Structure 1
Amino acid sequence: METKQQTNKQLEKVSDLIEDIRIAMLTTVDEQGNLVSRPMAALQVDEDGTIWFFTKRTSPKVDQIENNQHKVNVSFADVSDASYVSVSGTAQELDDRAKVDELWNPQAKAWFPKGKDDPELILLKVHIDMAEYWNSSDSTMVRLFQQATAAITGNPPKMGENEKVYN
């Protein structure tokens, strides 16, 4: 995924953490009020904290986004590096062919067999309102040791950074 230098410096850490995590889970609310999550390929995080995705014009998530005042959650997880990011944001569908051209990649053809000119293809942009991240710079062995020590002592392990960031 491409990430651009953030104009909001607080989002720089969030952008850095999600840069190498290609697949995110996008959560919306369905008609019955259930939380519904699905995997989505994140394409780009631009300068103002907008995460870009491709989606189908007729996808149920498009209606769910509109029916829930455009509020969504996007979560990223890199278990091997113990990096986790949860983004609360505002989503919007957009039919911008120039942006589609900019973000198009060969993997997208699996979902859009007619290519970037597929009439079903639109963009989903999620503007980050708030993000929270958890990140440990410790190795897996150190994290396991901290968890074992916590189990013995009854004190919660210190597993790295945790911060909320507002845009």
Structure 2
Amino acid sequence: MDTLNKEIKHSIENLTGKEAVKKIREMVDSSSLCFFQTEVSFDDSQSARPMSVQKSDEDGTLWFLSAIDSAKNEEINKNSRARLLFQKPSSMEFLELQGNAEISQNKEMIHELWDSIAKNWFPKGKDDPRISVIKFNPQAGHYWGTKNGAGLAGVKMLFGMITGKPMDVGVEGELKI
């Protein structure tokens, strides 16, 4: 293991508070699709499903629209712990968040989060009685990325392969909100 760690070069940059929130918002604003994973599922499979973030707040809170009668909402009602997994392949960035999810049917928030795509799931529009809001409060996470974008990282990796010298291409860190 020590030999492997000596060959791989990357930087560790742990972020807390406002810096952690900034990293979350940068990723979410550029790639709002994620896998939303609840801690409880009916078959103990740690169910994950694709979701789209409707909004991110200044404090890192993420907002989703969901059907009140969905399995996901039932799972959240049993255990509010959840995990979000984001990927932005074009720049080789990844983000994993852990936190708590809350469900409401706050009409003001539903109207604020509503967009035309939501009509595919809620054909009765903004006032569909099945719409709920999921508020995800991140507490911690981890991110991975490249220092200078995917293109330069690829060139550095190729150079490292040719020369046999490890190149510093990656950055990762813990997030504490």
Matched letter for residue 74 of structure 1: L
Name the CA distance, whole Å, in 1 between partners of 2:153 and 2:33. Answer: 24
Unaligned residue ranges in structure 2 (runs of 5+): 1-16
**Residue 114 (structure 1) shift:** 0.5
Larger radius of gyration: 2
Aligned position for 2:112: 102
Structure with bigger RCO (C-alpha 8 Å, 6+ apart): 2
SS of the residue corresponding to residue 35 of structure 1 reads coil
State the aligned residue count.
160
With the length of structure 2 as denominator, give the TM-score of the two structures: 0.81
**Residues 24 and 60 of structure 2 are in contact (CA less than 8 Å); yes or no, is this contact kept in structure 1?**
no
Aligned-residue RMSD, C-alpha: 2.0
Query: CA 1:154–1:48 in 2, change beyond 3 Å: closer, same or farther?
Result: same
Name the CA distance, whole Å, in 1 between partners of 2:136 and 2:122. Answer: 20
Aligned position for 2:133: 123
With the length of structure 1 as denominator, give the TM-score of the two structures: 0.85
Which structure features the higher share of helix residues? 2
Aligned position for 1:4: none
Name the CA distance, whole Å, in 2 between partners of 1:49 and 1:141. Answer: 29
Aligned position for 1:45: 56
Matched letter for residue 25 of structure 1: F
Aligned position for 2:90: 80
Matched letter for residue 68 of structure 2: R
Superposition map of 1:19-38 within 5 A: 19-28=29-38, 29-38=40-49
Aligned position for 2:8: none
Percent identical among aligned pairs is: 26
**Residues 81 and 137 of structure 1 are in contact (CA less than 8 Å); yes or no, is this contact kept in structure 2?**
no
